[in-house]
Amino acid sequence: MLAITIATVVLILLGLWRRDALLTEAAEARRDRTTALTSLTTLRTRIRNTVLASRSLEADNAATLDAAKDLERTLDDVAVKIQVTEQERDDTAVSAYIAGGQLGQLRECLDGITRALNQVAVGDPNSISTLEAAGPACRAVGV
């Protein structure tokens, strides 16, 4: 009977020891679960913030791309305007060169006519030859 009593006491002590171990394990498991849930909440928050930041960056990137396209269109328009202006400048330069040549011939024509009229006014018989000398210049300018 003593052996049964000792065995019973040992079994009760082992049961109490195991119960204490199980309670300790349960407390550790609850603590680990709480830590894991806290970490999960933190990770979810970080992921949400990262997603929001990436959406903001994508929106900024889209706005930057739109602005770059607008700037490219503006630059293309300016390039076309520069080409038109350069062409107009070149045309004006050519016209001025041509007009400069015609202006000189017109001046020569008018000077010849003026000399011829002055000669006629004073009775100089060479007025016709002076007028004929101015003829090629006058014909060149269409007079």
Q: pLDDT for 6-31, tens place per residue? A: 888 888 888 888 888 888 998 999 99
Count of other CB atoms within 10 angstroms of residue 116: 20
Query: Is the entire prediction scored with pTM above 0.75?
Result: no
pLDDT of residue 40: 92
Q: Is 124 left (phi over 0), alpha (psi -120 to 50) or beta?
A: beta
Count of other CB atoms within 10 angstroms of residue 109: 21
Q: How confident is the model at residue 34 (pLDDT cuts 50, 70, 90)?
A: very high
Q: pLDDT for 57-102, tens place per residue? A: 888 888 888 888 998 999 889 888 888 888 888 777 777 666 666 7
Q: Domain-by-domain residue ranges, the chain?
A: 2-140
